Amino acid sequence: MELLDRYLQAVKFWLPFAQQKDIIEELRDELQSQMDDKEAELRRPLTENEVQDIIQRSGHPLLVASRYLPPGQLIGPVLFPIYAFVLKMITFCYLLPWLLVWLVMVTFMPSYRAAHTGLALLGTLSTLWNLAFYTFALVTLVFAIFERVQKKTKWLENWDPRQLPPAAKRELRKQRQPRWESLTGLVSSILMLIAWLALPRFSQQLFAPASGILALAPGLRSYYLPILLLMSVEIALHGIMLWRPSWTWLPSAVRLVTTAVTLKLVMSATQFYPYIVWVTPATRSAHDLASVNQLNETILMLNITFSLGIALIVALCVYAGQSALRLWRYLQPRFAGPGNPGALSRSRLF
C-alpha cells in the first residue's frame, strides 16, 4: 500500500541507520497485521480512509521513531533526531567546507604559509573552533527550549498521513550502469585527450609573442605525460563499462586511485611556484617583476576560487566511501555464512 510505504519511509528517516531495517520490518508487520484483522472483521478490502485511520492511530513518525531511541536528559527522544540532523547539516554543509578551504590554502598557497608560520598556522583554526562551539551551543539551546514547549502542547498529535512525501521506488533490478552513460563518457574523454595532445602546439601559437620574455616553470613540463596517462585510464574505464555494465564497483575503485594520483600531482606542482617566470629576470624592472608575481598569485587564487583542491579532496572522500560500501556489501553475505539464504543473491547483485 502506498500510504503505508510513505509512512514507513517517514519513520525510517528518523531512525538510527544500524537499526532502520529491523525496526521498519517489525513496524510493517505490526501495521499489516492490524489491517488484515480489520479486513477480516469487515469482510472486504479497506478503503483509503480506513487505512489512514490505522496509520494515524500508530502515531506521528517522529513519535514512533522516538520509542526506539534512548531517553535523553536535555533533549528528549522526540526532538533528538531533528537535533542530530541539524547538527549534521551544519557540520557537512558549513564547517567541513570551511576546513577544506583552509586545507587548500595551507597546501596550495605559499604566501599564506609564509604569513602564518609555526603554531600561528594552527592558530588560524581558532575561527573554526569558535564557529563550531557557538553554533552547536545555540542549536542546543533552541532545541532545549522546544523540548520544554512540546511537552506542554500536542502539536504532533494532529497530523494527516496523506500529507507525507511520496514513497521512494525500491529498485529490484540488478544494478547496471547505463550504456549511454558509458558511451557519452567515452566520447567526451577521447575529445579531452585529443585536446590535451594538441595543447603543446596550441600554446606555442597562442603565446608566441611572449615566447622570449615569459616562460612556464621548467618543472611543470614533467606533468604532461602523467596527466596523459590518467586520461587514458579514464578512456579505458568507460570502454570496460560499455562492455561490462554490471561491474558497478569498478568506476569508484579506479577513480579512487586516479583521484588520489591527481591530488598528489596538484600538491606536488605547488613546489614549482611561481608558475610563470621571466626568461631574463635580471634585466627586468621592479614593476615588471611585481606584475608577474601578481599574475602568479592570480593563477593560484583562480585555482582556489574554482575549488580544484577542494573538489579533489571531496571526490576522494566520495570514491573512498563508495568503494568501502561496495566492499562491505560484498563481504556481508560471506560473513553471514552459507546458511544465510540471501547470501548468494546479494553477492550476485554486487
Query: Is residue 334 very low, low, confident or very high in pLDDT (cuts 50, 70, 90)?
Result: very low
pLDDT tens readout for residues 36-71: 888 888 888 888 888 888 888 888 887 787 777 666
Contact predicate 175/330, CB 8 Å: no
Using DSSP bridges, classify how beta strands 214-216 and 276-278 pair: parallel, antiparallel or unpaired. Answer: antiparallel
Question: Which grid cell sits at 339?
Answer: 546458511
d(CA 345, CA 110): 53
Tell me which of 16-30, 80-94, 197-211, 302-316 is least confident. Answer: 197-211
Tens digit of each residue's pLDDT (9 = 90 or more) over 174-226: 567 888 888 888 898 898 888 888 777 665 554 545 555 666 677 777 888 88
The pLDDT of residue 23 is 86
pLDDT of amino acid 336:
45
Highest mean pLDDT among 116-130, 142-156, 215-229, 252-266: 252-266
What whole-number percentage of the chain has pLDDT above 90?
Answer: 4
Predicted confidence at residue 108, as pLDDT, reads 66
Q: Are 10 and 162 in contact (CB under 8 A)?
A: no
Confidence of residue 330 (pLDDT cuts 50, 70, 90): low
- Residues 294-321: what's their mean pLDDT? 71
CA–CA distances in Å: residue 74 to residues 14, 58, 80, 263: 18, 26, 9, 44
In angstroms, the Cα distances linking 293 to 14, 138, 255, 273 are: 53, 44, 35, 10
Instruction: Confirm whether pTM is higher than 0.85.
Output: no
What residue ranges in the chain does DSSP mark as E strands?
Answer: 214-216, 276-278
